[in-house]
Amino acid sequence: MKTANKIYWKELVEILQKNEKPENVEIDFRNEMLDFKNVSLLNRFGFNVPKNLINYDDENIDFSDDPDITDEDIETGKISWSIKANFNIEPEIKQWIKTEKIEINSLIPQLMKNFYETVKQIKKNAAI
């Protein structure tokens, strides 16, 4: 079995940028943080970078080509919001949910929608 040649990650990136892929190499990361661009290049050629060495710099992400989210996107369902919530349920209600096989993930959004529509209707009627 042939032993792997050790190569410094920056040298490997330079080689990969020339669209060449060395065989049988072991990457020497020297415990240095790599930016996403270099990690992406290494991954494209099948080289994995330890997660603890990946520098996620959210401040420098370019979102300029991402379209803005509009009210229409939300109203039409193109974009939807998801909320995770934890709350206590009384034992009697918990048993009722189990017995009736109620799907909580469907029930709660419907209850919220009904409550919202009711409050909206009350405010509309109060203004008349």
For residues 51-73, give the mean pLDDT. Answer: 81
- Sort residue 23 into left (φ over 0), alpha (ψ -120 to 50) or beta: beta
Read off the amino acid at residue 72. E
- The pLDDT value given to residue 60: 67
Q: How far apart are CA 119 and CA 33, in angstroms?
A: 53
Q: How far apart are CA 33 and CA 12, in angstroms?
A: 15
- The pLDDT value given to residue 25: 92
- The pLDDT value given to residue 82: 79
For residues 110-117, give the mean pLDDT. Answer: 93
Q: Where are the domains of the chain?
A: 5-60, 71-127
Query: pLDDT of 9-48, one tens digit each?
Result: 999 999 999 999 998 999 999 999 999 889 999 999 999 9
